[in-house]
Structure 1
Amino acid sequence: MKKTLLFLVAAMLTACASQPAKISQTASGWPEIEISTADKKSVKDYILLKNSESGWNLEQESDSMLSFSKLDSSGSFNAALTQAALGNAYSTPPKYEVKYFISQLPGRVKIVSNIAVSSQMPGGQVNRMFLNENNTVFNAYQEQLNRFKRGLEGN
């Protein structure tokens, strides 16, 4: 047990030490982008389409927010490590969550992504970890927003 714990701590420290630099510094600290369009609905529809195509489930929708989730029941090493970090062997598999906050600005639409992973303990308590400090995850979602921008602006 001690060797396993030591290995997990070493793996996490190594992963933290070797993070890439963020590809973009944003005002919010989260991945964000501004799209040159006045049509907020087309932006929301595009996000819905792209996330549903990649297997994400719509959890909640409002005029200015879309919330998606994806359960990682793959049994992979990363899933097991995430489950162990958030809970214990009896917790649910990790549930990845992404929220898109969509704001209408003059002549443009701004999107901010909020990314987290959670796991539910046997008693019902939900443990959640926000992933904006993980530069690899930040960069992946910033790239996703960049692709959204290119797709919506036709570039």
Structure 2
Amino acid sequence: MPDDVAQPAAFSWPFDVRFHEVDALGVVFNMWYFAYCDAAQAAFFADLGTPSSALNEQGLDVLLRHADVQWVGALEPHTSGEVRVRPVSVGHTSLVLRFEVVRVPDGQLAFTAQITYVCVRVAEREPVSVPEPLRAALERRIG
């Protein structure tokens, strides 16, 4: 992409670290980062105009297929953070989102993930094509 073309801004989902999310070392336990990403993904889809509830009404959902993660920092109890979400790609039945979890207000990066989701028909647990409204919305945001 040429340097003079602006990349779409990442979607941001804010959250506060709750005490029960912290482990014995005084930092957020690793599984909670996936919960943050899950909540951010749902909020991102709603922001795109294709909320998870609309997919569910069609008998569809997106399931996590694969995740590449890296912890580069830590969040502590009673701090705030945000999850930044960017779509990376959209395939026939799958989509890839990139997540960055940062501490607020200093922006210190704590966690990154690139997660592949597969769109499925819930009743059969069979992959289906990414619905066109979701596909179009994601493609508009790929930078």
TM-score by length of 1: 0.29
TM-score of the two chains, using structure 2 as the length reference: 0.31
Structure that is richer in strand per residue: 2
Max Rg structure: 1
